[in-house]
Chain A
Amino acid sequence: MNLDFSDDQKLLKDQLRRFLADRCPPATVRAVLEGPAPFDRPLYQGLAELGVLGAAVPEAYGGLGLGRLELCILAEELGRALAPVPVSSSIYLAAEFLLAAGSEAQKSAWLPKLVSAEAVGTFALAERAGRVTPKAIQCRVEGGRLRGVKVPVADGEAADLAVVAARTEPGDGAGGVSLFLVDLGSSGVKREAVDNIDPSRKQAKITFDGVAAEPLGAAGEGWEIVRKVIDRAAVLMAFEQVGGADRALEMGRDYALDRMAFGRQIGSFQGIKHMLADMYVSATLARSNAYYGAWALAAEAAELPVAAATARVSATQAFQHCAKNNIQVHGGMGFTWAFDCHLYYRRSNALALALGSLSEWEDRLVEQLRRQNAAPAAA
């Protein structure tokens, strides 16, 4: 048994941490948070040059063909640095949709551009507030033309390509949902920036008015593919959350060591120590659950749905817990714009909703455990 990354993977992690310390200090995150740029293009280009965007993409499509464990490592470091780049939209989602359901022509056309950062992809699912269920998908494709509104779409303003879930059969059922590839440069696409709680990662509203849409995967199988790809992306997103949780914990710990009050380090008060210990517990449980997810993702294990939901629920809880209590440890200074605590607080709450909220994942976890329990015992 070996529930750990390999030495080579740990070297990659060190390399990425140094790269991000150099190229993505908090000032880089703030520049996107406070400015008009949709993401930090030089940073994104730099990641592409390292090859890591294509870690899980076969060499035939311009990737490194390594595997998804390397993506897990990338995700953790991006989360730790709050990197303002569209890796989740373009790599965990768009590229994974292409790998899961794309035709040879679609993969050849887009994957090399996505991994080289020449193009950015995204996934457009939600249309209104509330849980995204098949019933909530009301964008339609008729005669190869897409009509409807998607909001919020992560990186929607900057993206060149969108994977769009749309209804091809009337009614409410999952069987009427199909996936489409849409070139966002096409006529009939209208994009508007929408404000969000974490402006270091941008969101958009996209209106499709009779836009050319190319089927991705078989008609009527869209929902099934979405579930499959979201399970994979959830593990990667959990690693971003684990990275963020760890950094928020470190920030709180460091401040508790530096800050004096009542003549002593505030980290010597049990009220603060126990809060930090509880943050460590959440972050540790989340990391261990994320490793379980990483194993299931890399091994393409049958229990991926359970492992992904476990990793996701645990990581969401941990990042939110660590980010909010990091502010608490900092006291008033933690609520200033100048301190970085709010960057983590914002990101933790945005990531908690991306790919579905905590309660949706809790629901899914229990349902999948129930299925696993009913099935003959797995190895």
Chain B
Amino acid sequence: MNFDDTPEEAAFRAKVRAWIDANAPKHLETELRRAAFASSGVVSEDPVVASKAWQKKKAAAGYACLNWPKEYGGGGFSPIERVIWSQEEGPYASLSSLFGIGHGMCGPTVMTWASEEQKRRLLPPLVSGEEVWCQLFSEPASGSDLAGLRTRAEKAADGSGDWIINGQKIWTSGAHRSDWGLLITRTDPDLPKHKGLTMFFLSMKSPGIEIRPIKQANGDANFNEVYFTDVRIPDAQRLGAVNQGWEVSLTTLMNERLSIGSGMPTGFPELFNFCLEAEIDGRPAIEDSRVRSRLATYAVRASGLKYTGMRAITALSKGQIPGPENSIGKLVAGSTMQETAMFALELQGEAGMLTGAAAEFAGRFQAMLLRSPATRIEGGSDEILRNIIAERVLGLPGDIRVDKSVPFRDIPTRGRAD
């Protein structure tokens, strides 16, 4: 029971700290630290250019995708060394968010299912940030129910063996900036829903792809709709067997959980600092007993997540594989962030309605308030995460399914008649 590094860990920490100190884009540090919620914070230059520059430098030194094998551009480091790196990278880590989907989900899927030749072609530029990936999974009618997707892949009539894609994806983060996409499609609607899916990767510059940004409820546009009209994909870009796509997708989703120890934001440190400065009746807000009660509740959630992460890292260092229990991170952090934002606004009184420069703390809590509903939905909604905990951690039975063993084309699509 200690928070000390082993001598080897301490040596690695000292080495990466020195490297970061010598190589990080220090001219961006102030704006990175001041980042408004859900952006890298870079304003003085093109944020994509800044992200790619830092990523390229890290990759050249072996500090990008630290635990990936060296032959695919990774650093060949242990999971613990990767955690130490992420602790040391500090404010510069937000520059890597552009590559999060690619490194966290697409890369591991390619590593498991692609040919050796494809891995050597695709992975190194993914590591170095020269090529950006997106994940084309969700559809308008299949979010939580991913296996209900309807984008079709059909064999080309010309006998080339190519596949022709038609359909629509949605909520695709960064599609407009991506070079490659990981795409799951339906290849056989006569099979039950999980059995007729196939996975591909494709160039996002392929003819027939149209990308439309979605204006979100908070006014930003980070997500996209992606339309496919007769898009052609060579059969060589299939990952896994035809109709094995569900199994392939599980590799992608499993890898989400490996990104432990990074710590999802809860808004608690910001709220605490705000309560030190804000006043109620001429007294610091933090002295008010109602404020204290709320702060304590958020404090133990933030602390509980922090030490749950440390317990997971401890298990990892002993060679244990992280499991579905790590689903609690986003489940707790997402709703806590929404609550801390609402509470900060409440303490601001009517001025809590203001946003931007006129608002307290430069509108940080207002931005959190407006963004936080998405955190509770993206990457597994609160309800899906509770199902995962209930079924895969506690061992409770799955839902009784009416759609699991019938042909996909027979599953009803309308809730009620017009």
Contacts and interface: CB of A to CB of B under 8 A. Distances in A.
Nearest to B292: A366
B291 to A, nearest CB: 8
A87 to B, nearest CB: 21
B398 to A, nearest CB: 7
Contacts of A274: 383, 386-387, 390
Contacts of B307: 3, 288-289, 291-292
B324 to A, nearest CB: 11
A371 B272 CA distance: 12
A281 B305 contact: no
B104 to A, nearest CB: 23
Contact of A373 (B276, B297, B398): B276
A257 B396 CA distance: 7
Interface stretch (B169-177, B209-217, B310-318): B310-318
B1 A69 contact: yes
A273 B396 contact: yes
15 contacts: A3-B307, A3-B311, A69-B1, A257-B395, A257-B396, A257-B397, A270-B383, A273-B390, A281-B389, A284-B308, A310-B300, A313-B297, A362-B293, A363-B292, A370-B276
A305 B395 CA distance: 37
Contacts of B300: 285, 289, 310, 313-314, 317, 365
Contacts of A292: 303, 307
Interface stretch (A167-175, A186-194, A260-268): A260-268
Contacts of A359: 289, 293
Nearest to B394: A253
A43 interface: no
Interface in A78-129: none
B369 interface: no
Interface in B290-334: 291-293, 295-297, 299-301, 303-308, 310-311, 313-315, 317, 325, 328, 331-332
A160 interface: no
A365 B389 contact: no
Nearest to B385: A277
Nearest to B389: A277
Counting contact residues on chain A (CB < 8 A from B), the size range is: 35 or more
Question: Which 4 A-B pairs rank lowest in CB-CB distance, beginning with the nearest?
Answer: A285-B304, A362-B296, A273-B390, A288-B307
B286 A277 contact: no
Contacts of A277: 385-387, 389-390, 394
Nearest to B269: A373
Contact of B272 (A264, A278, A369): A369
A284 B296 contact: no
A327 B386 CA distance: 20
B3 A267 contact: no
Interface in B344-399: 383, 385-387, 389-391, 393-399
A363 B398 CA distance: 42
A365 B297 CA distance: 10
Interface stretch (A29-37, A294-302, A337-345): A294-302
A268 B387 CA distance: 10
B289 A1 contact: no
Contacts of B4: 1
Contacts of B297: 313, 317, 362
A159 interface: no
Given A267-B396, A288-B303, A363-B289, 9 more contacts: A1-B3, A4-B1, A256-B396, A274-B383, A274-B390, A276-B396, A284-B304, A291-B1, A361-B296
Contact of A286 (B295, B304, B315): B304
Given A3-B314, A295-B2, A369-B299, A265 B397 contact: yes
B391 A285 contact: no
Given A273-B387, A284-B325, A3 B396 contact: no
A280 interface: yes
Given A274-B390, A362-B293, A268 B1 contact: no
Given A270-B387, A288-B307, A373-B272, A5 B396 contact: no
Contact of B399 (A270, A286, A289): A270
Contacts of B398: 268
Contacts of A299: 1-2
Interface string A335-379: 000000000000000000000000101110111011001000000
A291 B303 CA distance: 11
Nearest to B391: A273
A268 B394 contact: no
Contacts of A373: 272, 276
A226 B327 CA distance: 40
Contacts of B417: none
B49 interface: no
B157 interface: no
A374 to B, nearest CB: 9
Interface in B222-272: 272
B21 interface: no
Interface in A213-269: 249, 253, 256-257, 264-265, 267-268
A297 B314 CA distance: 19
Contacts of B5: 1
Nearest to A301: B3
Given A2-B314, A295-B3, A285 B301 contact: yes
A3 B2 CA distance: 6
A355 to B, nearest CB: 16
B279 to A, nearest CB: 15
Nearest to B301: A285
B400 interface: yes
Contact of A281 (B303, B331, B383): B331
Nearest to A297: B1
Interface in A1-26: 1-6
B386 A273 contact: yes
A362 B300 CA distance: 10
B289 to A, nearest CB: 7
Nearest to B399: A268
Contacts of B314: 1-4
A365 B394 contact: no
A289 B298 CA distance: 13
A366 B296 contact: yes
A265 B295 CA distance: 39
Nearest to B331: A281
Contacts of A3: 1, 3, 307, 310-311, 313-314
Nearest to B289: A363
Nearest to A67: B1
A365 to B, nearest CB: 5
B149 to A, nearest CB: 22
A249 B390 CA distance: 11
A1 B313 contact: yes
A329 to B, nearest CB: 11
